[in-house]
Amino acid sequence: MLNNSIKVIFMLGAYNGVILDIDLTNERIEGKKLDESAAKLFVGGKGLGTYYLAKELRPKADPLGPDNIFILATGPLTGTSAPSSGRWTVVTKSPLTEIYLDSQVGGFFGAYLKHAGYDLVLIKGKANSPVYIYIDKEHVEIVDASDLWGKGCFETERILKEKHGKDTSVGSIGPAGERMVKFATITFDRGRQTGRGGTGAVWGSKNLKAIVVKSAKAEIEYAYPEKFREAVKKAVKKINLHPFIPIRKLYGTPIWVDRVSSAGLLPTRNFQNGSFENVDKICATTMRLEIVERDMACFGCPVPCWKYSKVKDGKYAGTEVIGPEYETIALMGSNCGISSIEAIAYANALADDLGLDTISTGVVIAWAMECYEKGIIRKEDMGNIELTFGNEEAWIEMIKKIAYREEIGDILAEGVWRASKKIGKGSENFAPHVKGMEIPGYDPRGSFGMALAYATSDRGACHQRAWTVKMETYGMLGARFSYENRAKIVKEIQDERAVCFSLVLCDFMPLDPLDFVEMLNAATGFNCTIDEYLKVGERIWNLARIFSIREKGISRKDDYLPPRFYEEILPSTGYHIDKNEFNRMLDEYYKLRGWDENGIPTKEKLKELQLDEFMSFI
């Protein structure tokens, strides 16, 4: 137990200046001072998380071994009055991809952590038996969690809130995390997840069932309080004037379901098509009319985009879930041939409770469905489940089998990359992943920008690092099906997002880097220019890259999509990814990044980015 959390003298505004360092193996809890120069170079959230992971993780550590480090990171704007300041980050080495992983998450946990007095939490080692960590402003404690082990996230959260009060935020793993399913999540605030890459499996490997943070009064000292207030006011005004905001408020992310299906890139039946014939049954309007009960928002957000849903009748009656979000509808829905928003809501709740990433779960099940329909996996190997596209019962059964690693679920629990290597028979060609991370809700044959974004994303196929879908389908980049200029755009968005994820603010805010930098400077006193601000993003991106190079020898060979996307034409767009064009785009991207033709950052680039201390990684 650590009593009376430490106070440090920290010169920058809006930080606590304190890192909480927890070693579960020997139950050591320490507070240590955040590195000020690192804060200037990496800001917070994703940036500082990446910095400490790169600095402290033993090379080639087993992601599911006690050596892996799990980092929870707030940023200077987390928990402030900046709009969407409920966002925060986790960073670790991924058991799914065996490379760099970060995950951005909303809700309340990050703000509470910040208000409790910590900027970052580093979790190391492995507890002997199940534990949870309790954090409040006065003390931090590792508590026995043997009685919680085996329980779902919802029940775990309920019990811990009963014990520690409603004014807490809880993150917990379910049966999937306990069994180290490679794409297990941690469920925070009942409905928010660190979704991708197996964060829940890392907790499971450490015997860490949950973390509870108690809410406290925010005592954030800003460098220029008045300037900060002004900058926030300006940003909020801008948000409220943006034409997309009322649409987002009403529908949240699912607004994209029918748009993306119309645009021909909604994953359908394991990426065999990009438009779903039953899209009306799973689109945002239907969801809103049929199941949404109310709107909810993350801490400090003027745009309540969470949808609290409840199924009123039919066989899923009584289901309550925060969601489903676009990605869940796309991957668990159309990609599995499922045509019922109620069924998707049920599966979503199930996944949240079991602690499974709905994207990876949807992809791996849809892949298994295709394998089954093609005779690659037989019924007897499926545990006698008729896993055809659209079969709701089989699909729900399979979600459970994955979480509990039962029968074929044990193979699917390894993710589509490992499962397809194991099953073989050509199934690797249509296993949708990059670097072992399942491809999310946009078929790259409907967005060439996304093809490059997936291929080069730091954590494997990810839609958040550079989301070009809107720009391309709104006609903002000229011809939609063009490779022109995509490298530049993807590179720029990746950098910009990397630093935004370090503030941490939300993806969905219609703000410019100028707005962000204004708030950052006023809060911290950084006084950085827009170029310096974007340089932070580039620095983080490069550090993540060389981390993965050190860990797994990542290089050009890994920056590709699976064969299906180059070889098969998507019926809904009439395009495949042209391999030559893709290679040209990749060359251009490396060049813009200052990386060599093999995708390795040059020493000059690392020097320019002040990453000297990590030079040995390459």
Task: Provide the binding-site residues for a second copy, judged by CB under 8 A.
Answer: 243-244, 246-247, 250-251, 255, 258-264, 268, 273-281, 283, 285-286, 289-290, 473-476, 478-482, 569, 571-575
Calpha distance 515→242 (Å, rounded)? 14
Report angle CA 337, 339, 345 to the nearest 5 degrees: 105
Least distance in Å: CB of 251 to a second copy?
Answer: 7
- Identify which of residues 247 and 592 has a Cβ nearer to a second copy in the complex: 247
Give 346 or 614: the residue with its C-beta nearer to a second copy.
Answer: 346
Q: Which is nearer to a second copy, 274 or 415 (CB)?
A: 274
Q: Return the number of the residue (103 or 339) whose C-beta is nearest a second copy.
A: 339
State the nearest-atom distance from the C-beta of 479 to a second copy, in Å: 4
Sequence-ordered list of residues with C-beta below 8 angstroms from that of 26, at least 6 positions apart, any chain: 125
Residue 38 or 250 with smaller CB distance to a second copy: 250
Q: Locate tokens 């983080």: which residue?
A: 540
Look-up of token digits 């690192």: 38
d(CA 44, CA 523): 13
In the complex with a second copy, the residue whose CB is nearer, 75 or 274, is 274
Contact (Cβ atoms closer than 8 angstroms) between residue 486 and residue 448: yes
Count Cβ atoms below 10 Å from residue 46 Cβ, excluding itself: 32
Cβ at position 511, least distance to a second copy in Å: 16
Minimum Å distance from CB 262 to a second copy?
Answer: 4
Q: How far is CA 293 from the centre of its chain?
A: 26
As measured in angstroms, the least distance from the Cβ of 485 to a second copy is 13
- DSSP string covering 427-450, please? GGGG--EETTEEP-SS-GGG-HHH
CB nearer to a second copy: pick between 132 and 251: 251
Least CB distance from residue 451 to a second copy, whole Å?
15
- Of the pair 169, 270, the CB lying nearest a second copy is at 270
CB of 516 to a second copy, least distance (A): 22
Cβ closest to a second copy, residue 262 vs residue 555: 262
**What's the min distance (Å) between Cβ of 320 and a second copy?**
22
What is the four-CA torsion angle of 256, 259, 261, 264, rounded to 10 degrees? -120
Residue with Cβ nearer a second copy (86 or 446): 446
In terms of CB distance, is 60 or 470 closer to a second copy?
Answer: 470
3-state SS, residue 305:
coil
- B/e letters for 462-490, b = 16+ CB within 10 Å, e = fewer, are bbbbbbbbebbbeeebeebeebeebbebb
Place of tokens 């190079």: 549
Nearest distance, CB of residue 199 and a second copy, angstroms: 33
Question: Any idea which residue has 């071994």 for tokens?
Answer: 65
Exposure string for 600-611, b = 16+ CB within 10 A, e = fewer: bbeeebbeebeb
Q: How far apart are CA 346 and CA 556, in angstroms?
A: 40
Tell me how far, at minimum, the Cβ of 570 lies from a second copy, in Å: 9
Amino acid identity for residue 220 in this structure: I
How many CB atoms sit inside 10 A of residue 530's CB?
13
| Cα dihedral: 399, 404, 405, 407 (round 10) | -80
Q: Considering the complex, what minimum distance in angstroms separates the CB of residue 473 from a second copy?
A: 5
Residues sharing a CB contact under 8 Å with residue 351, sequence separation 6 or more, in sequence order: 185, 328, 332, 357, 358, 361, 399
Cβ distance to a second copy smaller for residue 274 or 300: 274
Q: How many CB atoms lie within 10 A of CB 408?
A: 22
Least separation in angstroms between CB 335 and a second copy: 13
Instruction: Give buried/exposed letters for 535-558 (b at 16+ CB in 10 A, else e).
Output: bbbbbbbbbbbbbbbbbbebebeb
